[in-house]
Amino acid sequence: MATPSPYSCPSAQPDMHEARIFGVLSGTVDAPRVAYLKQEAVIPAAARPDTGGVNPIEAFRFAARCEEGRCGQYAGGRCSLGQRVVEGLPPVIDALPSCTIRPSCRWHAEQGREACLRCPQVVTLIPMGDDPLSRAALVPGSAADSPQLRDLR
């Protein structure tokens, strides 16, 4: 059996291993922002509040154990999504946010503070459009079958 990754995925799905809510989405559709939770407010995905029919990944940011090679974003031993977030999105803050998953976050481990300065605008489920976040979500070579909605993980 493969050794579990030591890293956390910062844009995870609620059904992933060790999934927990570490941020709440606020802001607007055009300019979403994540409010990072304090440690005592982080809750397991299974105990998440009822979102009243709204997809939980439109309301929260989940972290979970990185799936490495079982994730389409993993390439060359790294998270290609974290790299594209840094390369394709502008910073939206100028100081590191207080974020409980930083010690294990794969994006921070690989991209450093530049990932954190862009991270608050990341929404895991996004409508596909011609905007920087949609472009960052695309795995190179997969554009031909791009759906209307894409899971950003």
Least distance to ligand SF4 from the beta carbon of 146, Å?
24
Give contact residues for ligand SF4 (rule: CB under 6 A): 10, 97, 99, 101-102, 105, 107-108, 115-116, 119
Nearest residue (CB) to ligand SF4, 74 versus 107: 107
Least distance to ligand SF4 from the beta carbon of 104, Å?
9
Dihedral of the alpha carbons of 107, 39, 45, 81, in degrees to the nearest 10 = -10
Backbone angles phi, psi at 90, to 5 degrees: -80, 155
Give the separation between CA 137 and CA 132, rounded to whole angstroms: 9
Query: Of 126, 136, 120, which is closest to residue 85 (Cα–Cα)?
Result: 136
Least distance to ligand SF4 from the beta carbon of 145, Å?
28
Nearest residue (CB) to ligand SF4, 35 versus 130: 35
